[in-house]
Amino acid sequence: MRMKSFAIVAALALSAAIAGCSTIGSQVFTNHYGAVTDAGYQLPRIPIEKVPFKYRRQVVDYDTREKPGTIIVDTQNKFLYFVMGDGEAMRYGIGVGREGFEWNGTARIALKREWPTWTPPGAMIKRQPELAKFAGGMEPGLKNPLGARAMYLFNRGGDSGYRLHGSPEWNSIGKAMSSGCIRLMNQDIIDLYDRTSVGAKVIVL
């Protein structure tokens, strides 16, 4: 009887150890997508239960030679990594450019803006004439395509025209449907914005 009890205790201990190992190096922020009041705007809760688990903000093991503070965008797998060092990164789910609007390369964060104005480029207005009313800029707000935050990517030629930005369209995360910009859920772009410094290196794969 004593041997049987010992075996049960040992089995439970092994089970707990295995469960503990499975969470090492990973912290998921599923509870961080509730309603948020930010700069007078009321961001609605994201129905995060409808977002695939892999696209929720989480700390993951990530091996890279890039220094902490670097942003690496994996467009194929729809992930953005903020390098934290010590073999870890904060990973966010993203939406990327649709067919014909894909790009890759290296840039730097030149500007950061909270609740930015959105101005569609001329080429976009030609494709979608209904956007001409925003040629002078669309006011910040909950329906603004740049969402709660935007970080502007510049390369050697100056403004690349691409942004890392928030989006009210949480259901676009994990998809290719933008005009080349990298979009995150609004609650995620706020978190990334607070971590990122002007001048940070951005690598788009």
200 found inside a domain: yes
Tens digit of pLDDT for each residue in 89-116? Answer: 999 999 998 755 667 899 999 999 999 9
pLDDT at residue number 138: 82
Give the integer Cα–Cα distance in Å for 173 and 42.
Answer: 21
**Residues of the domain holding 47:** 26-204
CATH assignment at residue 85? 2.40.440.10
- With a cut of 50, say whether residue 120 has pLDDT above it: yes
107 found inside a domain: yes
Tens digit of pLDDT for each residue in 77-95? Answer: 999 999 999 999 999 999 9
Largest interatomic CA distance in the chain: 81
Tens digit of pLDDT for each residue in 5-20? Answer: 434 333 433 333 333 3
- Kindly report the pTM of this predicted structure: 0.83
11 found inside a domain: no
Mean per-residue pLDDT, 130-159: 89
Tens digit of pLDDT for each residue in 147-171? Answer: 999 999 999 999 998 999 999 999 9
Mean per-residue pLDDT, 132-138: 77
* Intra-chain end-to-end CA distance of the chain, in Å: 60
> Order of strands across the sheet with 71-74?
27-28, 58-61, 88-93, 79-85, 71-74, 201-204, 105-114, 149-155, 158-167, 182-185
18 found inside a domain: no
Structurally, how many domains does the chain consist of?
1
Tell me which residue of 82, 91, 75, 77 sits closest to 182, measured CA to CA.
75
pLDDT at residue number 127: 85
